[in-house]
Structure 1
Amino acid sequence: MINEIKQQRIPAEEEFMEELNRLADFDPISPPPGWYLSPSTIEKFIIGDKKLGIETKFFAPPGVVSRVLVSLASGRGSLLLGEPGTAKSRLSELLSAAISKDSSYVIQGGAIKEVRQLLYTWNQHSVSEKGFCIESLVPTPLFRAMELGKVVRFEEISRCDQPIQDAILSLLSERVISIPELPHEQSLLYAKAGFNIIATANNLDVGIKDMSAALKRRMSFEHICPIKRLEDEILVVMREVRKLNANAGLSVVLDDEIFEVLTTVFHELRTGQTCDGLTTDRLAGATMSTAEIISVAHAFCVQAHYFNNGDINLENIAHSLIGAALKDEPADKRRLMHYFESQISTRRGKVWSALYSQRHLLR
């Protein structure tokens, strides 16, 4: 019997449809034109509200989400800047879902090489038969978002060449697309209320394609930092891994101690500080992000399900950790070994002991 084919992931507006609809009924303030929810209610949707039964979907210092929402509500685009794996894309998806109830208008900056890929193209077969007309036009996600008044998620905007950035600048300024091939009465597409751009960029990409000063002025910058509180990061990892496991049909259940150990190791190697405030090793060649922890923990479950009959082999934790931690920085191997000897060796518990017993893998 063929297994039922599942969708690998569902968009935020479907995943949290019940919450969004409930918040829409609750919303005490009229949303801005074209928005589904008001900014203050969207903040509750994202950072959570226990009284309303809304789960926390993004951990951030106070003010981060509200500043982004104020920027968007005032008509400015927003740029979420930060290290890889800090959930910038997830935040942009949640914002789009709550503002437009549709997060599907996505542009990958690294894939856009020509302005026509950003705005619109033509169906050449249709053009040869009908000429330049609306029916022959092939809209891009940005074109559709302007036409319908939706938010565009512009991923990795810093990877775009200067002509693309200039086109984005014009759109943020004028909110109109010119289509000179069409008759005059159809040659301008004005953005509907609700249209805006939420862009993301990685710190590691800064300088690859420098953003112009004019474009920077038309977007508010918000730095998205890694989760600061270890307890919050553990909750995120546990929640997301369990979602991934359920969607993949895995019967493996990880002990809370495994989540705690994995997250603690990544957290300390990322920050260069132990949970009790002591200075420790910090890896230079790996981000050690929350997203990486989730990936490693899920892979650990996949291995247990398909290779160990669902049984957890704690010795495999070291293999997963080393694969994530050691990238292209030779000195990180020495730093990781020192972390094993100075920190992991002092920790108590079966998971810590199993991890330390595999230190020979670093030699």
Structure 2
Amino acid sequence: MSENGITTAGGAHGGSGEALRPHAEVAFAHELAALAAADDRPRPERWRLSPWAVATYLLGGTLADGTVITPKYVGPRRIVEVAVTTLATDRALLLLGVPGTAKTWMSEHLAAAVSGDSTLLVQGTAGTPEEAIRYGWNYARLLAQGPSADALVPGPVMRAMAQGMTARVEELTRMPADVQDTLITLLSEKTLPIPELGQEVQAVHGFNLIATANDRDRGVNDLSSALRRRFNTVVLPLPATPEDEVDIVARRVAQIGSSLRLPPAPQGTDEIRRVVTVFRELRDGVTADGRTKLKSPSGTLSTAEAISVVTSGLALATHFGDGVLRPGDMAAGILGAVVRDPAADRVVWQEYLETVVRERDGWKDFYRACREVGA
């Protein structure tokens, strides 16, 4: 790492403790190294691990030497196997799902395991230019020398093509349609033309692309049928059971809390389970026992939002409490997650509090805390 803390593209900080949020290949370097050492299965060209080892890295397991590989994704094994297999073919991978289904998380870890570098990333927004997908120019050199190889600034996708690595495109449907369509030739011909230089970059073995898209963005910038045909689509579901979701939230909160230097919270699992219960019931429109139908708020109440609520509560308990995660630490975060539309969502939340939370055994403290922050 340089003295000013800046790392070059594709580089990594010297230690996982230096970065607030280390890249996957840094944070889990010991697991990736152990998998590489134990991996004796065939690897596609330029892959760091075999498809079996990549799947093991994502799903977790224990190696023959006793090394424990922590799960990065909790969900159906077949989904991970299909995603990994897709990357070993000439088809690009599209991870599709509602917010909070770990699309970005899986994308990052797939790239880290396959290529050892998850940083070849294009972030999709309404303002993403075509240059972000293709290449840009060093304008000082362009003005001084005209178009030349020295003036060219390769984008992440171009670098991935030239080096045989995995590129990532986040929130593909947030990009304008004409920018999306830049990918069509790239994915079908595996070639990126540079007409200004009369040249092209051809992808070498090992190159592939992972894109993510949000179910909630349908109608924003839908993919053309021509572009959609270039992808193999894998739909990531919400966690199937409350236990799965509690496990996901607990793991991620522990990882985030460690990076923020927050101590583990005693009795934290009980509060995590409460947050997950609230979110799942409001999301599903029915209580866990199936007896009471509920109105759902306008927000998604995803697993990612549950992680954020619990992390904020842990910070409150650490800095302004006794370090024990309590209902009062969670109430404000839950209110903020549920009530996105101040008019309609507040009515939904108040009805849920009075008809469900107030009558539930062992939830009196939570009910009072929620009433206090919502008053």
User: Would you call these one fold, judging by a TM-score over 0.5?
Assistant: yes
Question: For 1:98, what is the secondary structure of its paired residue?
Answer: helix
* Residues 269 and 280, structure 1, Cα contact 8 Å, conserved in 2: no
Question: Is 2:100 aligned against 1:85?
Answer: yes
The counterpart of 1:48, out of the listed 49, 60, 69, is 60
- Name the % identity: 36
Equivalent position of 2:296 in the other structure: 283
Range 239-248 or range 124-133, more displaced: 124-133
Give distance in 1, aligned partners of 2:187 and 2:110: 18
- 1:355 corresponds to 2:370: no
Quote how far apart the aligned CAs of 1:203 are. 1.0
> 1:162-241 counterparts in 2 under 5 A?
162-182=177-197, 184=198, 187-241=199-253
2:351 alignment counterpart: 338
Superposed CA offset, 1:198-220 (max 9, x none): 11111111111121111111101
Change beyond 3 A, Cα 1:88–1:282: farther
Question: Once structures 1 and 2 are overlaid, which stretch shifts more, 220-229 or 248-257?
Answer: 248-257
Shift of 1:338: 2.7
1:307 equivalent in alignment to 2:317: no
Structure 1 CA distance, aligned partners of 2:106 and 2:59?
10
* Alpha-carbon distance in structure 2 between the residues aligned to 1:7 and 1:280: 45
Deviations 1:144-194 (CA, angstroms, capped at 9, x unpaired) = 111111111100111222221221011001111111222x5xx12111211
Q: 1:233 to 1:139 in 2, by over 3 A?
A: same
Q: Distance in 2 between matches of 1:196 and 1:313?
A: 46
With 152-161 and 45-54 compared, the bigger mean Cα shift is at 45-54
Query: SS of 1:207's equivalent?
Result: coil
**How many angstroms apart in 2 are the aligned matches of 1:76 and 1:112?**
27
Tell me the residue number matched to 2:285: 272
Deviates further, 274-283 or 24-33: 274-283
Q: Which amino acid aligns with 1:253?
A: A
CA distance in 1, matches of 2:81, 2:292: 33
Q: How far did 1:329 drift? A: 6.7
Deviation by residue 1:109-165 (Cα, 9 ceiling, x = unmatched): 216543233211111211233332221111111111111111111001112222212
Distance, in Å, in 1 between the alignment partners of 2:35 and 2:277 is 35
Q: Is the 8 A contact 1:109 1:155 kept in 2?
A: yes
Q: The residue matched to 2:96 in structure 1 has which SS? A: strand
- 2:37 counterpart letter in structure 1: D
Say if 2:49 is the partner of 1:34: no
1:127 aligns with 2:164: no
Over residues 314-362 of structure 1, what are the superposed CA-to-partner deviations in whole Å (9 max), with x where a residue is unaligned? 334222211111112733333322322333234333xx22111245355
Distance 1:309 1:138 in 2: 52
- Which amino acid in 2 is paired with 1:123? N
Give TM-score scaled by structure 1 length.
0.90
Question: Which of residues 161, 168, 192 is equivalent to 2:176?
Answer: 161
CA separation of 1:113 and 1:251: change in aligned 2, threshold 3 A: closer
Aligned residue for 2:223, secondary structure, equals coil
Aligned pair partner of 2:265 in 253, 256, 271? 253
Whichever residue aligns with residue 354 of structure 1, its letter is D
The residue matched to 1:34 in structure 2 has which SS? coil
Compute the displacement of 1:95 (Å). 0.6
Q: 1:334 to 1:129 in 2, by over 3 A?
A: closer
Q: Distance in 2 between matches of 1:332 and 1:165?
A: 35
Q: Is the 8 A contact 2:120 2:160 kept in 1?
A: yes
How many residues are aligned here?
354
SS at match of 2:94: strand
Measure, in 2, the Cα distance between the counterparts of 1:252 and 1:77.
Answer: 40
| Distance of 1:28 and 1:279 partners within structure 2 | 53
Matched, 1:328 2:341: yes
When normalised by structure 2's length, the TM-score is 0.88
The Cα of 1:311 is off from its aligned counterpart by 5.8
Separation in 2, partners of 1:168, 1:221: 16
* Structure 2 gap ranges (5+): 1-16
User: Which moved further from structure 2: 256-265 or 323-332?
Assistant: 323-332
Structure that is richer in helix per residue: 1
Change (3 A) 1:35 1:144: same
Alignment correspondent of 1:9:
21
| 1:313 shift after superposition | 5.2
